[in-house]
Amino acid sequence: MKKILITGGAGFIGSHVVRRFVTQYPEYQIYNLDALTYAGNLENLRDIEDASNYTFVKGDITDAEFIDGLFLENEFYGVIHLAAESHVDRSISDPMAFVVTNVLGTANLLNAAKKSWKETLPAHRFYHVSTDEVYGELHDPAEFFLETTKYDPRSPYSASKAASDHFVRAYHNTYGLPIVISNCSNNYGPNHFPEKLIPLMIHNIIHNKPLPVYGKGENIRDWLFVEDHARAIDVIFHKGNIGETYNIGGHNEWKNLDLVFLLCETMDRKLGRESGTSEKLITYVTDRAGHDLRYAIDATKLKTELGWEPSLQFAEGLERTVDWYLSNSEWLENVTSGSYQKYYEAMYESK
Ligand code: NAD
Ligand code: DAU
């Protein structure tokens, strides 16, 4: 059985990737390595946790000795690296946490892979999951991010992801590590931590709390359903060319304010509230420092070379997302109270 190490598998996107690989590839043994930070939640994987081809490993990618040991103990065929600090606002208040996890953590994984795979390098694959934010921001509505767009990160988060991308390419160029990178646009869907725009708005609408729109709400994001991202990762891991970068996006641009209005309408309908009720909660707040105006991905390369394109229309994806949050109110309350963290910390300390 080929062993695949997925990092950050207890997080939002990682949990969808782990589920996809565990259920679609019985020939792989999937190791989910996650430190269970505030963003990691094993509840996300409750349905597959007993699968015979799934192993959870609690551990920190910033701990080089631990990572080296894990690679020596297990001959991993491949790595899919998602573990990261992922929230831009947190990177503004605590940039060093992003340097440590996203840059040092990635370098530790690269180093461990290089050392443990040295005799058989070409037989392996190191897949680094990155973001479109490394390209900076767009102003001209006719422009899109291409794989060749010059890096221009503008927040501590995107700078740390850009640095990690550079390290991944450097290990390919210098040591021949067989790598592949993808840069994806904004994801949405079930299990999204409610500090990010869409789940935060859903949470606050349910609780009749203010809906904080940064600045005038004119910034634009390109939204992709998380299961479509997981499918793209599957395709790129299996068919992507070594050394290459692939952009992943939804071709689905929304101005923040329009998206918040759409969510308000959808939630009013689902909750049986009078139309127009939730939009009264919209509150304009101080803009995010250095707020990137627009992200938009050109994913033509992924479509033409590997045949991937988004499968879900936004209207359907958003309905599914809202329905998931409404039927999983316990998940939402647990992650906002932090009680799940205490539960799992105790469980793993006692093992
Ligand atoms: P997330 O914050 O929901 O999850 C991150 C996971 O990494 C958590 O389970 C956390 O416990 C784990 N983790 C954090 N630090 C760790 C450490 N030191 N050691 C081990 N595990 C650690 O993030 P997400 O939104 O699912 O993003 C996953 C990846 O995809 C990130 O690399 C992110 O940059 C990238 N990405 C995210 C989006 C998006 O819209 N969310 C879009 C493009 C790319
Ligand atoms: O583009 C990919 C990136 O998308 C990922 O790499 C990041 O990990 C992910 O967090 C996301 O970054 P954003 O900063 O775009 O996502 P966020 O949900 O934080 O914000 C989306 C937009 O909504 C952004 O323009 C800021 C705005 N916003 C956000 C929050 C949390 C608000 O107006 N109010 C809010 O309360």
Based on the residue annotation, tell me whether 133 is a catalytic residue of this protein: yes
- Residue 73 maps to a domain: yes
Residue type, 4: I
Task: From 214, 255, 258, 295, give the residue whose CB has the most ligand 2 atoms within 8 Å, as the site to mutate.
Answer: 214
Element (H, E) at 211: strand 211-214
Residue of minimum CA distance from atom 30 in ligand 1: 82
Task: From 101, 138, 152, 221, give the residue whose CB has the most ligand 2 atoms within 8 Å, as the site to mutate.
Answer: 221
Which ligand 2 atom lies nearest to the CA of residue 196? 18
Give the pLDDT confidence score for residue 351 in this predicted structure: 44
Domain of 104, CATH number, reads 3.40.50.720
**Model's pTM, two decimal places?**
0.97
- Residue 272 maps to a domain: no
The active-site residue out of 132, 147, 227, 253 is 132
**Which candidate, 33, 25, 22, places its Cα nearest to that of 73?**
33
Q: How many residues does the chain have?
A: 351
- Residue 155 maps to a domain: yes
- Residue 158 maps to a domain: yes
**167 Cβ contact partners less than 8 Å away, ≥ 6 residues apart:** 103, 106, 107, 110
- Residue 49 maps to a domain: yes
- Residue 60 maps to a domain: yes
The active-site residue out of 34, 60, 85, 133 is 133
- The domain tally of the chain equals 1
Give distance in angstroms: CA of 144 to centre of ligand 2: 18
Residue of minimum CA distance from atom 10 in ligand 2: 87
Element (H, E) at 317: helix 314-327
The active-site residue out of 28, 135, 157, 325 is 157
User: Which protein residues are within 6 Å of ligand 2, measured from CB?
Assistant: 86-88, 131-133, 185-186, 196-197, 200, 212-214, 219, 221, 256, 288, 295
Q: What is the domain extent for residue 296?
A: 2-188+225-252+292-314
**Percent of the chain as helix, strand, coil, to the nearest 5:** 50, 20, 35
DSSP 241: P
Based on the residue annotation, tell me whether 157 is a catalytic residue of this protein: yes
CA distances in angstroms from 211 to 76, 159, 199, 284, listed in the order given: 45, 28, 11, 8
Give distance in angstroms: CA of 165 to centre of ligand 1: 15
Q: Beta-carbon neighbour count of residue 241 at 10 Å?
A: 11
Residues with pLDDT less than 50, the chain? 351
Give distance in angstroms: CA of 316 to centre of ligand 1: 25
Give distance in angstroms: CA of 89 to centre of ligand 2: 8
CA distances in angstroms from 30 to 18, 158, 275, listed in the order given: 7, 28, 46
- Residue 264 maps to a domain: no
Task: Give the ligand at the shortest distance from the Cα of 222.
Answer: 2
Question: What whole-number distance in Å separates Cα of residue 53 and Cα of residue 25?
Answer: 9
Task: Give the ligand at the shortest distance from the Cα of 97.
Answer: 1
Any ligand 1 atom below 6 A from CB of 160: no
Any ligand 1 atom below 6 A from CB of 158: no
DSSP 159: H
- Residue 259 maps to a domain: no
Which ligand 2 atom lies nearest to the CA of residue 292? 25
